[in-house]
Structure 1
Amino acid sequence: MIAYYSSLAMVTSAVIYLLAMSAHALEWAAARRPEPALVPVGAGAPAEEPAAPDAGAGRGARFARIGVALTVIAVICHVAGVVLRGVAGQRMPWGNMYEFVTSSLAFAAIFYLILVLRRGWTWLGLPVTLLLAVGQGLAVTVFYVAVAPLVPALHSVWFIIHIVAAAVAGAAFNVGGIAAILYLIKARAEKRGPVTGYLAQLPSAAKLDDFSFRVLRFAFPLWTFTILAGAVWADYAWGRFWGWDPKETWSLVTWVIFAAYLHARVTAGWKGARAAWLAIIGVAVFWFNFIGINLLVTGLHSYAGI
């Protein structure tokens, strides 16, 4: 019964994330309305005034508030689903791909809400809720597996440390990747001339670039710790620290890409489009490592259960 309520909470969160994404899409659409035309004051007077007040900004703000409110409700359902999953299995809810996806997305959602509450960054709403709606939707439809006991190799405190670090790092990688994508969009718009519509409400391209760098700089040591904790766990479970298992190999590839990204920014002064594309490649490799390797390759980390 507890497992049923966990699944119900997860499905509910996916639906509400979709509604939140729709609200933020309407926010963007409202901001795309053109400015009101100017009309003369009087019959032949040259002075001009707005024909009508622009209601687009007001509508956009209302849709933004609706989107954030829906996201808060979705996150409550989401976290409840994760907790109930652990209660149902009488273990930490990180034993398969479904559980890792839902946990990592929960961290990403909480991180986003913290940014909204502390800095008012509702401009992240559409891309983040898109990620959450798609990710949670795939989790409850494609990745879902019934609650089951952990395989013997996962009975270790280092497994818990390893997975928590990976989930938090993954959440940060995704937020940093979203900021890198928004940077590319905003930078292209700025090169074309004055930025209008919703893009005008985004931070400047330079600030987006800096935000992406800060988030990825936070994620990188966590990912480093993830690999190190995984090595300790591997020695406990299989008697060796490193065995070039496909998941281990691609985790190292992900680490190398983000190490190159940070090194290029700090020492070579890489900023802008080159750094953004390298960050996006790193996030893409992270997801390939998680989904592609789990589904396409058999190895010691094949816990998807699908």
Structure 2
Amino acid sequence: MNTGSMHVDETLARYSDLLFGTAITIYVLAMLLFLAALAGARSRKLSSAAQLVTAGGSGVAVDDRAPGKVADTPRRSLGDRLGNMAYPVVVVGLIAHVASIVLRGMATGRAPWGNMYEFISLTCAACVIAGLVVLRKPAHRPLLTFVLLPVALLMFIGGRWLYTQAAPVVPALKSYWLAIHVSIISVSSGVLLVSGVASALYLIKMRWGRPESDDPAATGSGFVAGVRRVIDRIPNADTLDRLAYKCVVFGFPLFGLGVICGAIWAESAWGRFWGWDPKETVSFIAWVIYAAYLHARATAGWRSNAAAWINVAGFVALLFNLFIINLVVSGLHSYAGL
């Protein structure tokens, strides 16, 4: 079929745009709910005066201030309730987001990631899916606010300044490799973005978090104190480090596969597997950084802050490669559609 004469369904394209905007709105709502969940989370520490003990192993909670008196069953904190509310809200936003991508593809009759607007949408959807899977435990769910923040920001930038009308792709992208190479890179990038967020939170926790033994009431009041309380209620540094590592273990080989597929496509399109085009070069640099991170995690003395900083460097390189290369640097991959 001649893709150059492909008909575009304007109605489906319009519905796709509406669902894209709806997804951003829902993500922002969920982000605020998760942030409120962190701010309203009840401290897990119990004061010695009100500590509950189990009577004779019977499983009945009693108050040690009044021996023999059965204590009320502790209710879930406001933070727990908000976190449980926000999780399905993200799922609804993701459904709208995926529907937007599908309708875009149906409207154009091609893989819906042929320009920067569509590529950002797909990568952000992959990031949200990875966040929902990795942070599915109730105790980890409030961390989705830090995943949704860059997602909402990138989608807003994509919809506001990088938006491209639904249309056939440029001739260079008329290949089945578009569906293979770009989708693999988008999915792996979404997973690695979650890893970068986890490592950034790990470094924040290590730098500004209070030791577990500190008195929660010693935080004080004011904006700075409020930020400190939010940091304190983020899962511990070890948990964040493990989450970041698991994401890289999954995303790194997938990213490498995407680079290999891109090289095969380059040989078919340009007659060479590798030409040190700016995007190829930065992709290689990002791949090396993530390889260094995995090596650092396996090396004694590098498993903590040093490895996390390497992962954050990979996060920055990945963002630069995904967006700046296409928008600013001139090269064979400059097909942003702007």
Shorter chain as denominator, the TM-score bin is 0.7 to 0.9
Match of 1:111? 130
CA shift digits 1:14-67 (9 cap, x unpaired): 011111111111112213789999999xxxxxx969xxx9x9962111211222
Match of 2:162? 143
SS at match of 1:31: coil
TM-score with structure 1 length normalisation? 0.88
Note if contact 1:21-1:133 (Cα within 8 Å) is conserved in structure 2. no
Note if contact 2:195-2:247 (Cα within 8 Å) is conserved in structure 1. yes
SS at match of 2:264: helix
AA matched with 2:130 = F
TM-score with structure 2 length normalisation? 0.80
Please report how far the alpha carbon of residue 238 of structure 1 lies from its aligned counterpart in structure 2 after TM superposition: 1.1
Match of 2:325? 293
AA matched with 2:183 = V
Percent of paired sites with the same residue: 40
Runs of 4+ in structure 1 off by over 6 angstroms are 32-40
Please report how far the alpha carbon of residue 104 of structure 1 lies from its aligned counterpart in structure 2 after TM superposition: 1.0
SS at match of 1:124: helix
CA distance in 2, matches of 1:255, 1:285: 9
CA distance in 2, matches of 1:7, 1:84: 9
Match of 1:209? 241
Across the two proteins, how many residue pairs are aligned to each other?
298
The one of 32, 37, 40 aligned to 1:22: 32
Note if contact 2:41-2:77 (Cα within 8 Å) is conserved in structure 1. no
CA distance in 2, matches of 1:38, 1:192: 19
- CA 268–226 in structure 1, closer or farther in 2 if over 3 Å, else same: farther
Larger mean Cα displacement after TM superposition, 170-179 or 196-205: 196-205
Please report how far the alpha carbon of residue 209 of structure 1 lies from its aligned counterpart in structure 2 after TM superposition: 1.1
Please report how far the alpha carbon of residue 250 of structure 1 lies from its aligned counterpart in structure 2 after TM superposition: 0.7
Unaligned ranges ≥5, structure 2 = 1-10, 51-63, 67-71, 217-228
Note if contact 1:180-1:208 (Cα within 8 Å) is conserved in structure 2. yes
Please report how far the alpha carbon of residue 296 of structure 1 lies from its aligned counterpart in structure 2 after TM superposition: 1.0
**1:11 maps onto 2:30 in alignment:** no
CA distance in 2, matches of 1:67, 1:134: 19
Larger mean Cα displacement after TM superposition, 77-86 or 186-195: 186-195
- CA 86–155 in structure 1, closer or farther in 2 if over 3 Å, else same: same
CA distance in 2, matches of 1:32, 1:247: 46
Indicate the RMSD between aligned Cα atoms, in angstroms: 2.9
1:59-208 map, 5 Å: 59-117=78-136, 121-189=140-208, 192-194=211-213, 196=216, 197-199=229-231, 201-208=233-240
Note if contact 1:30-1:56 (Cα within 8 Å) is conserved in structure 2. no
